Structure 1
Amino acid sequence: MKDRLPLKLNPDQPLVMGILNVTPDSFSDGGQFNAAKAAIIHADLMIKNGAKLIDVGGESTRPGAVEVDAEEELKRVIPVLEQLRELPVVLSIDSYKARVAKQACELGVQVVNDVWGLQRDAAMADVVADAEAHVVMMHNRLEVDPDIDIVSDVKRGFEASIAKADRAGIPKEKQILDPGFGFGKTLEQNYRVLACFEEFQSFERPLLVGASRKSMIGRVLNNEPEERLAGSLAVHSLALQKGADIVRAHDVKEHVEICEIIAAYRKWGQSN
């Protein structure tokens, strides 16, 4: 296997992570790319449109989705990863299962995107550390609670995830935090997290934002997932202005363009 491109994070230049769901039931694009050939074609298009990372997922994590076991998840993602590793892009595996992450990293995946922030599978932190991979540690909740202080809850979740990553020996610079829009949060709580996004910079880790086509947009605009590009750009632009380093998105070209505008703003728009 040839050497993979390194993941280079630059606070002055946000990156776009393209979403590649090889699932039959994801909320936005389920069934579109679950054949390996279609997935590779779509990944190639995202790369041409400027994606620096491709996040491959073999299990839908939308509310109400049916869980799949590691064996089924591997059947979905391994054929795609085996071909994607030849493309000029950083690869990410969207999984909370250590077994899936381990086999993906053995194929050259450099980022493990864990929607449970290393807190679901006890072996995950060690798998990431052994692979010398980056990890996206997302905040999540088993149940929605409209009465809690959601920003404080996100911070506590980050603290717990960081503690696990530190104990396993994952370097600080390879720990990426994601506040988890749409996961275990009410509509109002999602926007509260967005409003306070800059507070997460205190953890001194790269920040990822991923609200692409989610219901926090659809419920405000009363539209379907495929109609949520403008809303996705709006939410992500706000998060970028508040310090996001990576944007996880379905619509890569448009998000690359807003990242370029944000980069120009960070370079020239700040007062001296």
Structure 2
Amino acid sequence: MATTKMMGILNVTPDSFSDGGAYNSVEQARAHAEKLISEGADIIDIGGVSTRPGYTEVSLKEELERVIPVVEALNDLDVQLSVDTFRSEVAEEVLKRGATMINDQWAGLYDPEIFNVVAKYNAEIVLMHNGDGHRDIPVMEELLLRLLKQANQAEIAGIPEKNIWLDPGIGFAKSREEERIVMSRLDELVATGYRVLLATSRKRLVNDLLGGEMSVDERDEGTAATTAFGIEKGVHAVRVHNVLMNKRVAKTIDALKEIDNHG
């Protein structure tokens, strides 16, 4: 039976929008990672740079100082380690220390060398749709064109198709209406043949779908609904804060789809 993978979020930053400062010591990060694994995480995504609205970009040195000790502290755990970075230098250092996935919010556009680094270590890479929010064509068309172009660049660099993931970039460079359009057309992204990661956890879209005025920690049920919707559209993994809730939703949907396929 095909099972939806759970990517648990581990932010080791002082300013992430949902859990900033909660896990920015190695001990706290280790404890939270163990909790996420106990709840069913298949992948732990370690982030040393906040992507919250209005975030301040940190230096390469500071990012390395945040993520390297955490990767080293977690590489004995029975879980895949991903690092959320767009810098090839960070990718190089974490991959040599046991990470096997890079989650690049700029899909190689910020630092194209990241493709060569990922290929060198035979690692996986997530290519996320991003931009400045200004576009000359409809959002879904731009998303598909940009991600397929970057996936092609990744393959030219030597990353096999099976190691490439696409992320539609909910919460990045899109209006809420555009995000609704992207969600409704997720199956088109799945149809490209690449594996798809959906990352909606506690984001403004969820708040909007719930009617607004929800604090970030009140958005888990809405997130779980987007998980179920995404799985129905064919996504292969979800990136979430509340692994336990989303794991239960995914297991239920996956089981029902299996019955439907053989019923």
Is TM more than 0.5 here? yes
The CA deviation string for residues 214-241 of structure 1, in whole angstroms up to 9 with x for no partner, is 0111233320111000110111211111
Shift of 1:63: 2.0
* Structure 2 counterpart of 1:183: 172
1:121 aligns with 2:111: yes
Of 181, 184, 190, the match for 1:195: 184
In the alignment, the residues of structure 2 paired with residue 22 and residue 224 of structure 1 have an alpha-carbon distance, to the nearest angstrom, of 21
1:96 aligns with 2:110: no
1:157 aligns with 2:146: yes
In the alignment, the residues of structure 2 paired with residue 178 and residue 97 of structure 1 have an alpha-carbon distance, to the nearest angstrom, of 18
Any idea what SS the aligned residue of 1:231 has? Answer: helix
Of 209, 215, 218, the match for 2:207: 218
Q: How does 1:41-60 map to 2 (within 5 A)?
A: 41-60=31-50
- Gaps spanning 5+ residues in structure 1: where? 1-9
Of 54, 60, 64, the match for 2:54: 64
AA in 2 matched with 1:254: M
Any idea what SS the aligned residue of 2:235 has? Answer: coil
* Structure 2 counterpart of 1:170: 159
* Structure 1 counterpart of 2:231: 240
AA in 1 matched with 2:43: L
The 8 Å contact of residues 227 and 250 in structure 2, kept in 1 or not, is answered as: no
In the alignment, the residues of structure 2 paired with residue 204 and residue 101 of structure 1 have an alpha-carbon distance, to the nearest angstrom, of 25
- Gaps spanning 5+ residues in structure 2: where? none
AA in 1 matched with 2:68: I
The CA deviation string for residues 242-271 of structure 1, in whole angstroms up to 9 with x for no partner, is 001011000000111111112112211236
Any idea what SS the aligned residue of 1:92 has? Answer: strand
Shift of 1:148: 4.1
The 8 Å contact of residues 6 and 41 in structure 2, kept in 1 or not, is answered as: yes
Runs of 4+ in 1 over 2 A off after TM superposition: none
The 8 Å contact of residues 144 and 186 in structure 1, kept in 2 or not, is answered as: no
Any idea what SS the aligned residue of 1:207 has? Answer: strand
The CA deviation string for residues 10-53 of structure 1, in whole angstroms up to 9 with x for no partner, is 8x111100000000111101110111111110000000111010
In the alignment, the residues of structure 1 paired with residue 76 and residue 152 of structure 2 have an alpha-carbon distance, to the nearest angstrom, of 34
Of 99, 103, 114, the match for 1:109: 99
TM-score, normalised by the number of residues in structure 1: 0.93
* Structure 2 counterpart of 1:253: 244
Between the two proteins, the alignment pairs up a number of residues equal to: 261
Any idea what SS the aligned residue of 1:270 has? Answer: helix
TM-score, normalised by the number of residues in structure 2: 0.96
The 8 Å contact of residues 85 and 108 in structure 1, kept in 2 or not, is answered as: yes
RMSD: 1.3
Q: Percent identity?
A: 37
Of 71, 81, 84, the match for 1:81: 71
In the alignment, the residues of structure 1 paired with residue 193 and residue 85 of structure 2 have an alpha-carbon distance, to the nearest angstrom, of 24
Task: Using the TM superposition, name which of 79-88 and 212-221 deviates more.
Answer: 212-221
